[in-house]
A and B are shown apart, each in its own frame.
Chain A
Amino acid sequence: MTDEKLLQRASRGDESAFMLLYERHRASVFRFAYRLLGSTALAEEVTHDCFLSLVKAPARFDPRRAASLRTYLFAAARNLAFKHLRQHSGETSLDDALTDASPTDFGETPLGRLLEAELAEAVRKAVAALPALQREAVVLFEYEELPLAEIARIVEADVGTVKSRLYRARASLRRSLAPYFKSHERVAAVERVYK
């Protein structure tokens, strides 16, 4: 069953249709919100409000404007996340910084695990340090792997603008994560040899 039909049924009070819709998109919406906000609690809040707004006003979802329900949900999550960012600008959760930084892919050795955790934390900080518009472009393109046209619809900008933001975001990330690139390691190793 398509998302549109499920939404119709959910708006009429069909609980199972709503839950099916939620199961389809909850993970991606939560991940997106989490990477934008850097907090599990805030991401939860955004996900909750996002799906609830879908039930409150299902007519807002216009298939002609948003290509799919996923696009609409990402756009709604983005707006809610930006609202949170405006309200709580500069606030970071210490718990999140400590707990969410732990990667799932641990290394074989304790040292490897430690390095993985350090790298994940560095990436998180580098992404969090990006401006919001560049951050959302990176998250949608790199993590959610959406095509540029869909990203442009979500962020309500043209494709060129999205590319521009992506380019600048990548440049910024390269600079901040330079010590973790293998090429950089090789260069550094050569430098060490030659020294």
Chain B
Amino acid sequence: MKEKKYLRLLPFRAQDDSRRAGDDGGRLEWHDDDELSRLLHKWEAPDAPRATDARLLASFRRETAIAAPFRRRFWNASVSVPLPVAALAVLALLCITATLLVRPFRLSRETAGEVAPHASETTKVIEVPVIQERIVYVERGARRKQSARDENFSERRPSQQRVRQQATSPQPLARGERRSAPDAETHGTGYFTRVNMEEFHPANQMQIRVIKRGNGDEK
């Protein structure tokens, strides 16, 4: 009753409530203010300047470049590197590439040069004569019954005569070949022919004979 009276007294309230309920889809219909609406539309906003577009596009590119993962930035080549660092990096890359390209070629050449002879040749063992120098010391006791010429000779020469036998021929002798003696030796006028080498035995061929006389002990 109270509500009806209220609505009767204020009829515009009911109309306002229907608008609040959303009958108009949330849009007010104030017919009284059409005049105000027309008046308000006399003020027109300018269009957005096109300078904003370029600025916004630049900002967009910057933002997406920062936000993009490194992989995408790498492919888009948007990683900023100082010029000297970039130059050094390129130089190092070129050097490494050149080294890697040249090295296998050189290695292949070297290995080819080493392996090929080994494969073609067979190993052959050759005996090479080695020149050996042997010094022989011979001790001879002075003979009492030597001739005067021998005594004189023994006086000039020391009691212990040293004979040096030196192999001087570097070339090996063939089988059955004998070294020819010098002419002085063959004629008996050489240095060695004057020495009586009749009882000469090399040190390693000397035979020791123990002569025992009688049954008595020598001690």
- Give the B-binding residues of A (Cβ under 8 A): 10, 13, 15, 18-19, 22, 26-27, 30-31, 34-35, 40, 43-44, 47-48, 51-52, 55-56, 100, 103-105, 116, 119-120, 123-124, 127, 138, 141-143, 145, 147-150, 159-160, 163, 166, 170, 173-174, 177, 180-183
Contact = CB atoms under 8 A, between A and B. Distances in A.
Contacts of B47: 27, 30
A120 B42 contact: yes
A30 B45 contact: yes
B53 interface: yes
**Interface size band for B:** 35 or more
B40 interface: yes
B63 A52 contact: yes
Contact of A100 (B39, B46, B60, B61): B46
> Majority SS of interface residues in chain B?
helix
B48 A159 contact: no
Nearest to A180: B39
Interface string B26-55: 111010010111011111111111011101
The 3 closest A-B pairs by CB, nearest first: A147-B26, A30-B48, A123-B43
Nearest to B26: A147
Contact of B39 (A19, A43, A177): A177
A48 B42 contact: no
Contacts of A30: 45, 47-48, 52
Given A31-B48, A56-B63, 9 more contacts: A15-B64, A52-B60, A120-B44, A143-B45, A145-B27, A148-B26, A163-B28, A170-B36, A182-B35
Contacts of A40: 46, 49
A123 B63 contact: no
A173 B1 CA distance: 38
A119 B25 CA distance: 32
A182 B56 CA distance: 44
Contacts of A150: 26
B56 A120 contact: no
Contacts of B13: none
B125 to A, nearest CB: 78
